[in-house]
């Protein structure tokens, strides 16, 4: 939950990534300077497979969202507040997922390997916060977090031989979904 500018902060973790051959997604407040340059150069050389993204949200909301991601993937938020030093981070503290898709504005984590009971407990905790909050803005943000944790997303692909059949199939699919 902080800026990473010194490569020495993440070097021990990167060495573990190289040894294990794992892919690494770094979610941080920001990555800049020497750390960013080193990651890019090594990614281009094929030394390791790494992607760095900015953490979502701001302030306390950011901390809560990072905790959501950690629970979803079975990882740990590495934070000075929690007494955890980035230099001492191990692969065991990193979360895992079946796949991660990173786009310009979105990062999609598919099939996180977090403990299902902990995920359900987190969902229950957020639902309780939704009921207790008096702010519409907070309620909306909590419901967004709830939707992301619950993972209710589906992609349906519809194909057909002609344009007309395609439109017909698409309309039928929409009708079926809305029924």
- 112 in Cβ contact with 96 (< 8 Å): yes
User: Which residue's structure tokens are 């980035």?
Assistant: 86
CATH number at residue 98: 3.50.7.10
Largest CA distance in the chain: 61
- The distance in angstroms from the start CA to the end CA of the chain is 43
For the chain, what is the domain count? 1
* CA atoms within 13 A of residue 43's CA, in its CB half-sphere: 13
Least confident of 31-35, 45-49, 168-172, 173-177: 173-177
Residue 134 falls within a domain, yes or no?
A: no
Residue 67 falls within a domain, yes or no?
A: yes
Share of the chain above pLDDT 70, in %: 94
Residue 175 falls within a domain, yes or no?
A: no
Mind listing the pLDDT tens digit for each residue in 31-65?
888 889 998 998 898 888 888 888 888 888 888 88
Residue 78 falls within a domain, yes or no?
A: yes
Residue 173 falls within a domain, yes or no?
A: no
- 74 in Cβ contact with 114 (< 8 Å): yes
Residue 85 falls within a domain, yes or no?
A: yes
Domain with 47, as residue range(s), is 3-114
Residue 122 falls within a domain, yes or no?
A: no
Q: List Cβ neighbours of 163 (8 Å cut-off, separation of 6 or more).
A: none
Mind listing the pLDDT tens digit for each residue in 88-133?
888 888 888 888 888 888 888 888 888 888 888 988 898 888 888 8
| CA dihedral sign, ordered 19, 24, 30, 31 | positive
């Amino acid at each position: 939950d902080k800026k990473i500018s010194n490569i020495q902060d993440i070097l021990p973790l990167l060495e573990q990534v190289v040894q294990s051959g794992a892919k690494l997604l770094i979610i941080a407040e920001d990555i800049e300077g020497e750390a960013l340059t080193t990651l890019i150069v090594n990614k281009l050389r094929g030394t390791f497979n790494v992607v760095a993204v900015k953490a979502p949200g701001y302030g306390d909301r950011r901390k809560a969202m990072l905790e959501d991601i950690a629970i979803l993937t079975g990882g740990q938020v590495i934070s000075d507040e929690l007494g955890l030093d980035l230099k001492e981070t191990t692969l065991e503290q990193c979360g895992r997922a079946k796949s991660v898709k990173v786009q310009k504005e979105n990062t999609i984590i598919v099939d996180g390997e977090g403990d299902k009971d902990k995920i359900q407990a987190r969902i229950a905790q957020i639902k309780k916060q939704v009921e207790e909050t008096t702010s519409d803005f907070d309620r909306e943000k909590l419901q967004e977090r709830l939707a992301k944790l619950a993972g209710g997303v589906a992609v349906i692909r519809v194909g057909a031989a002609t344009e007309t059949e395609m439109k017909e199939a698409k309309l039928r699919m929409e009708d079926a979904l809305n029924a």
